Structure 1
Amino acid sequence: MQKAHSAVTHSHSRMQNTNTHTLHIVWVNKHADFIGGAERYIYDTVKALAEKGIKSTLLYQLDGEIHPRFTHVFNSAYPITKLSEQLNHHSPNIIYLHQLDQIQDIDTCVQSGIPSIRFFHDHKLFCLREHKYTTIGHNTCQRKTGPGCYVCLGFIGRNSQHKLTVNRLGNLVAQQNSNRNLAGFIVGSEYMSRVLIQHQFELDKTHVIPLFTSSNTSVIKLSQPRHSSQLLYVGALVRGKGVDVLLRAMASLNMEVNLLICGDGPQRDELQRLSQTLGIDHLVKFKGYCRSGTLTKLYQQASALIIPSRSPETFCLAGIEALSHACPVIATSVGGIPEWLQDGINGRLVDSNNILALGGAIRDLLQHPDTTQRNAALAQQRIVQQYTIDRHTHQLIQVFKHLLKENLNQAMTATPMAGGDRHANH
């Protein structure tokens, strides 16, 4: 009985004055550093929410990376030691989870009684090999995780030292079961919403909030002179990104086309050797990791950004960033990409792994630069208006408030009825 009354008391305190100036969010993530897209999202969103008066605390795993440039946007940041005690101490309104692979931490958040919601940035919870393409044939996968994952050798993986590992379906299912108990789920695309539903996550608890361009829309130039034959790739150098397909497509063009590859990863050496084998190494430059300022200039100069992914992209922010600078985009029709890229309107879509189709789309774009650039300029207007951080944070706050209200209603329902001998049904 006492526990029920306590839950109502805490829920009331979290619901009181739930305007943006009283919200306190605890962010839980493996790293406290700029490791990937998830961390970039966390950093940008925390900054934007801080401008609205929202307090943010970061809890990160002991084995995670940490950098002061990342943590300084938070009101406070701590490594996870005893999570239940830390949550009780900070007493946030909302727990917002991101990259996290410890089931016990998920369970602790659920059991805290604090509304806990998770953003699913990738396929780690829905694919044994994390990238949703088959080991044999490298084909884009749309299947639900199950015994079929063993048939495609999806259980074979590599650790951070690039050593072979065996991934077990039972572990993945256990993580899915734990995550289903969270109060809500956030995804960046309708595609990812379908993936969650395919894996028995509740539709009513799933919220689609598209990502945002980090470009400063007030200083974006609507028209930029572009190189006539400069292609651009931005992303990790892993097999799922399909850079090998892009290199083969370039070799098929019989045109003097240059390619800048911005990014790094375990496939870099292999891709450099492939460009040499194809005889196009003099046309391809591997620039490694590029900061946002450098990417802005490249988006403004390139003939097109190429996204040759075979792994279904959960959103693909690089494409939005490119279009915000009126840079044309050619991409594979996988994952959430078709939700913001319409073939023949603001870019070109081709099938994944199709070298000839990708090469043909590149050739067509380079041969019709005026039409392509005109369409990209029109697309730019829509992108900078629709995919803004203000729009994203507004929707995010509405989800938080909805969860707080639901949490209060559930706590009220659980309150013992008069006399103490009866309880409301759940």
Structure 2
Amino acid sequence: MRLLFVHRHLGELGGAEANIHLTAEQLGRRGHMTGLLYGSATGKGEDQWRATFSECFRLPGYRNGTATQRALEYFTPDVLWVHNLSDLEVLEALLQSPKPVIRTVHDHALYCMRSYKYDYFTRQICLRPASTYCIFPCLASVSRNHRGGLPLKWVSYSAKRQEIRLNQHCRRLIVFSDYIRQELLRNGFDGPRIEVHAPLFREGGGGKLGVGSWEEDEARQSCSPLSPNSQPPSSTPLPSSNLIVWAGQIVRGKGLDLFLRALTHVKTNFECAILGDGSHRAYCEKLSKKLGLSGRVKFYGFVGPEQLQEFFCKASLFAFSSVWPEPFGMAGPEAMRHGLPVVAFDAGAVREWLTDGANGFLVPWGNTNLFGVRIEQLLQNRDLAQTMGRCARERVAREFNPDRAIERLDDLLFRVVQETQTAASSQQSENFLNYEQRTVRTIASAPL
């Protein structure tokens, strides 16, 4: 089957890109031919992407609808697979094709003008559908411009409504959590078209934290998150250093500043490794010093997959402090794969893989005091931490099997192709029947 992926980027950047690349790799190994229609290159891992996708087509930035049609004529795909892309010309051209269009909803950008679904000032999670409330009082029409030039940019509410309407015509929408499924239902999407699928994980976490190979040698496989065909690593004693690991993009929504404040409530000796980079890093580094944590908290920046594995294998627990409504939160299950208990805020889809008191602690949103108390509890009670870590590892092995996940995606692709062919055949039969009826009426009404 020929699959055309459509995404705004070529190359590694974040969790969406890691998932897209890995999915294309695995489907390619199952005999599918994959191509990519994209907007811009990231400058990271581009050679690996070009090696995975047999054809790559770049949108010129003008007359993108025409460029899309040409890519379709050249590649002749069986399925059009949209990921993160808001270009209305491209979406219209794809939907005009007779081929089925499916979309993976990686985040909130499809239905949120700010894309992160929380109040800019308070970080309170938004539960409203896209509406005129987004214009006022939310003021989401005015957003930060990350592309240089003016600091602010205008976001069109009418364009966002049109984007939602176009995506409602996709034959399937793939989501990674029931939380995102509910968001789509809230925004008027058809329930039967939405399917929840387990995400695929790249060894080492992918995205901002490093990109590793899906295939690992035996020495590394014993401590790699969600590697295919591998068994969960055997239970090992937790390290004596009381190492806490935090990993992710350092942006406001990830709540690193709240995590640092939570650490001030921890009395037990500990070390903390902050892995990742982002626009909020400088602020958090200053805050760490201000809170008197600089001697125990170290910022490592971007780390590769091997380093990430080492941190996971040495850690006592994993802290997941996101305060934005996580569409899934891949870093959590990645840490759980290593037998780590997780302490996290109850935000978005986190509760779908973290059960309070079972594989870690689910803390009420923004409660830094209790967050610190739960960390203290795990550091002091090593038996409890190890029991929760074992539960976490077993849950990941049970619920996030990579072979089963790719098989479900493969099945989905064949189903949408079959449905499209059946619908086209039915339409042809209906058109032929209408033609016959019109012909009979014409003959009957003709003068003798």
Whether TM exceeds 0.5 here: the answer is yes
Deviates more, 1:253-262 or 1:413-422: 413-422
Matching residue of 1:70:
49
**Structure-1 separation of matches of 2:434 and 2:239:** 79
Matching residue of 1:117:
102
Between Structure 1 and Structure 2, whose CA radius of gyration is higher? 2
- Please tell me whether residue 283 in structure 1 is matched to residue 261 in structure 2: no
* 1:387-422 C-alpha deviation (Å, 9 max, x unpaired): 122111111112112211211122112212247255
* 1:21-41 C-alpha deviation (Å, 9 max, x unpaired): xx1111111111001111100
Matching residue of 1:239:
252
Deviation at 1:50, TM superposition (A): 1.7
Matching residue of 2:25:
47
Matching residue of 1:102:
87
1:188 to 167, 176, 192: 176
Q: In the alignment, residue 41 of structure 1 is paired with which amino acid? A: N
Q: Is the 8 A contact 2:3 2:80 kept in 1?
A: yes
**Structure-2 separation of matches of 1:144 and 1:422:** 46
Change (3 A) 1:369 1:47: same
**Structure-2 separation of matches of 1:313 and 1:48:** 25
Matching residue of 2:206:
none
Matching residue of 2:432:
417
Q: Is the 8 A contact 1:190 1:336 kept in 2?
A: yes
5 Å-filtered alignment, 1:7-22, equals: none
Deviates more, 1:175-184 or 1:143-152: 143-152
Q: Is the 8 A contact 1:222 1:377 kept in 2?
A: no
Deviates more, 1:224-233 or 1:293-302: 224-233
**Structure-1 separation of matches of 2:20 and 2:434:** 47
5 Å-filtered alignment, 1:162-177, equals: 163-177=151-165
SS at match of 1:331: strand
**Structure-2 separation of matches of 1:295 and 1:64:** 22
Change (3 A) 1:63 1:328: closer
Q: What is the number of residues matched between the two proteins?
A: 401
Query: Could you tell me the TM-score, scaled by structure 1's length?
Result: 0.89
Q: Is the 8 A contact 1:227 1:301 kept in 2?
A: yes
Deviation at 1:340, TM superposition (A): 1.2
Q: In the alignment, residue 54 of structure 2 is paired with which amino acid? A: N
Q: What residue ranges of structure 2 are gaps of 5+ in the alignment?
A: 61-66, 203-224, 439-448
**Structure-1 separation of matches of 2:434 and 2:339:** 68
Matching residue of 2:385:
372
**Structure-2 separation of matches of 1:340 and 1:115:** 31
Q: What residue ranges of structure 1 are gaps of 5+ in the alignment?
A: 1-22
5 Å-filtered alignment, 1:23-422, equals: 23-62=1-40, 65=43, 67-80=46-59, 82-149=67-134, 150-161=136-147, 163-214=151-202, 215=225, 216=227, 218=230, 220-228=232-240, 229-415=242-428, 416-418=431-433, 420=435
Deviates more, 1:183-192 or 1:74-83: 74-83
Change (3 A) 1:333 1:135: same
Q: Is the 8 A contact 1:31 1:65 kept in 2?
A: no
Q: Is the 8 A contact 2:12 2:42 kept in 1?
A: no
Deviation at 1:127, TM superposition (A): 1.8
Change (3 A) 1:166 1:369: farther
Q: Is the 8 A contact 1:134 1:154 kept in 2?
A: no
* 1:240-268 C-alpha deviation (Å, 9 max, x unpaired): 11111100000122333222111111111
SS at match of 2:407: helix
Q: Is the 8 A contact 1:30 1:64 kept in 2?
A: no
**Structure-1 separation of matches of 2:352 and 2:231:** 26
* 1:79-135 C-alpha deviation (Å, 9 max, x unpaired): 235111211221111111111121111111111111010101111122221111112
Q: Is the 8 A contact 1:24 1:92 kept in 2?
A: yes
SS at match of 2:362: strand
Deviation at 1:170, TM superposition (A): 2.2
Change (3 A) 1:94 1:323: same
Q: In the alignment, residue 146 of structure 2 is paired with which amino acid? A: S
SS at match of 2:107: coil
Q: In the alignment, residue 83 of structure 1 is paired with which amino acid? A: T
Q: Is the 8 A contact 2:119 2:125 kept in 1?
A: yes
Deviates more, 1:213-222 or 1:166-175: 213-222
Q: In the alignment, residue 47 of structure 1 is paired with which amino acid? A: E
Deviation at 1:141, TM superposition (A): 2.0
**Structure-2 separation of matches of 1:244 and 1:375:** 26
**Structure-2 separation of matches of 1:55 and 1:182:** 21
**Structure-1 separation of matches of 2:48 and 2:325:** 31
**Structure-2 separation of matches of 1:250 and 1:419:** 72
Change (3 A) 1:155 1:279: farther
Stretches of 4+ aligned residues off by more than 6 angstroms: none
Q: Is the 8 A contact 1:224 1:300 kept in 2?
A: no
Deviation at 1:384, TM superposition (A): 2.1
Deviates more, 1:320-329 or 1:44-53: 44-53
Matching residue of 1:14:
none
SS at match of 1:186: strand
Query: Could you tell me the TM-score, scaled by structure 2's length?
Result: 0.85
- Superposed CA RMSD in Å reads 1.9
**Structure-2 separation of matches of 1:250 and 1:378:** 25
Change (3 A) 1:89 1:375: same
